A = this chain, B = another copy of it.
Amino acid sequence: MSSQSPLAMSEVSQALCIFFIFLLPLALAGLALINVGLSRLRSAAHSMMAALCLVGVAAATYFVTGFAWQGYPGLASHSVNIFGKEWSWLGAGNMFLRGVPLDGSRASLAALLQLLSVGLAALIPLGAAAERWRLRASCLSTVLLAGITYPLFAHWVWGGGWLERLGANYGLGAGFLDAGGSSTIQVVGGLTALSLVWLLGPRRGKYNLEGMPAALPGHNTVYVLFGCILSVMGWMGLNAAGSMLFGGVPLGRTVLVAVNTLMAAGGAVLAAAVLTRYRFGKPDASLSANGWLCGLVASSAGCAYVPPAAALLTGLVAGALVTFTVPWMEAHLGLDDPAGALSNHLLGGIWGLLAVGIFPRTLPFVLFANATNPPAAPGGQLIAQVVGVATLLGFVLPLTYSLNWLLNRFFPQRIPPEEERHGADLYELGAGAYPEFMTHTEEFSQW
């Protein structure tokens, strides 16, 4: 994969790849709508305003330094030699994208893709920290994400770094595989979300004195479910572009990528609807939406490598994962995550990464007729994936937690609890989202 020249790509492939990348704003739009819909009414404008700002901050930061430190296979990077093996650990490009001709080369497409996908990563903590994360702090936290955490880990996976070379260097399958960003985008964003949920604590009124969680339903289920449909289009673009740029798949194979993305989302929403029906008596709309999104997240890593039946199965598991872990994290871990981002993006991403290593070995062969690129050494592939996940949990989580902890020292990230009652809209923006609609705000305020 890393043997490609950073410049060579046929014009048709360039054009198709440009097209895929141009779909990413729909993933941003969908995720932003899901976040807004799952927030309470008093924070709706704040949530959407923050989404717009974070997309801007993420793109600007990544433009200034992010891509320089991430790099691309074939571009300059910093390496250390450990026991005779080259470990590339950081890109060594120029700031402001200087030296990356924005002319359709592979490297330029990777840069464009990530100017948008780093914004997607930034929206993940926004959902988890909804209603209590200050706008200024969220912008500064996004600078850390887009400037440090994201490019560092993405270099290892997508920029020619050591995780990508696990296969070549140590014979672990084809190296750590992640075509669409289950790790670089989703888990990295999810770990930032986890750090913030820890640092900010739950919303006022979420838990009573005995620690029992209260239900604080989102204010617009239509936004949430509509956002899911937009997201699938954005994700089809994301997965397909990633597969071409980081997975090295040929143009026509993006059909497989799209089928897989769709199967994962469809399977996940059905699993979540059926399971919530049996667990709670009625299907739960917001958990089903979370399921759909979790299916998309889990589809990313393997979208270019597994047959559609495996993608469907990945989605079914993702839907089940959401159904069980969202209530469990809320009730037993005390994690107040209004958008379910920890389940969707963190756990869903990890599941997707592992699925790449699991499915090619265990699925009945008959379903494999379409698998056109089985990893070279199936056994080692799962180990490579586990190494990647361990790196995320063992290195990226402490890093992002420390950075956000430090930030919190200087710029308190949390809206003062006594102001939460009036909502983030009034406190931070001075105006609500829906001034002419009558609302039940008091009833839903609690405490």
A residues contacting B by CB (< 8 A) are 10-16, 18-23, 25-26, 28-29, 32-33, 36, 40-41, 44-45, 48-49, 51-53, 55-57, 59-60, 63, 94, 96-105, 108-109, 111-112, 115-116, 135, 139, 217, 219-223, 225-226, 228-230, 232-233, 236-237, 240, 250-256, 258-259, 262-263, 265-267, 269-270, 273, 280-285, 288-289, 292, 308-309, 312, 366-367, 369-370, 372, 428-441, 444
Contacts and interface: CB of A to CB of B under 8 A. Distances in A.
9 contacts: A11-B251, A52-B269, A57-B270, A98-B366, A98-B369, A219-B436, A222-B434, A280-B430, A284-B430
B439 A444 contact: no
A442 to B, nearest CB: 10
A220 B266 CA distance: 27
Contacts of A236: 22, 25
Tally of this chain's copies:
3
A222 B45 CA distance: 6
Q: For A15, A250, A372, which residue has the most chain B Cβ atoms within 10 angstroms?
A: A15
A367 B94 CA distance: 11
A280 B96 CA distance: 32
A137 to B, nearest CB: 13
Contact of A96 (B11, B102, B367, B429): B367
Contacts of A223: 222
A98 B364 CA distance: 13
A59 B226 contact: no
Contacts of A23: 22, 233
A282 B429 contact: yes
Contact of A48 (B13, B116, B225): B225
B19 A217 contact: no
B252 A53 contact: no
A52 B439 contact: no
B435 A438 contact: no
A421 to B, nearest CB: 14
A239 to B, nearest CB: 11
B255 A219 contact: no
Contacts of A444: 435-436
Nearest to A431: B217
A103 to B, nearest CB: 4
B45 A115 contact: no
A251 B429 CA distance: 42
Contact of A49 (B103, B115, B225): B225
Given A60-B267, A439-B436, A19 B19 contact: yes
9 A-B pairs closest in CB distance: A104-B252, A56-B266, A102-B256, A25-B233, A48-B225, A45-B221, A15-B16, A41-B436, A221-B433
A167 to B, nearest CB: 24
Contact of A369 (B12, B56, B99): B99
A77 to B, nearest CB: 19
Contacts of A285: 45, 48-49, 429, 431
A237 B369 CA distance: 29
Contacts of A16: 15, 18-19
A436 B440 contact: yes
Given A52-B225, A55-B266, A56-B269, 8 more contacts: A11-B12, A36-B222, A49-B285, A96-B369, A98-B369, A100-B370, A109-B255, A221-B433
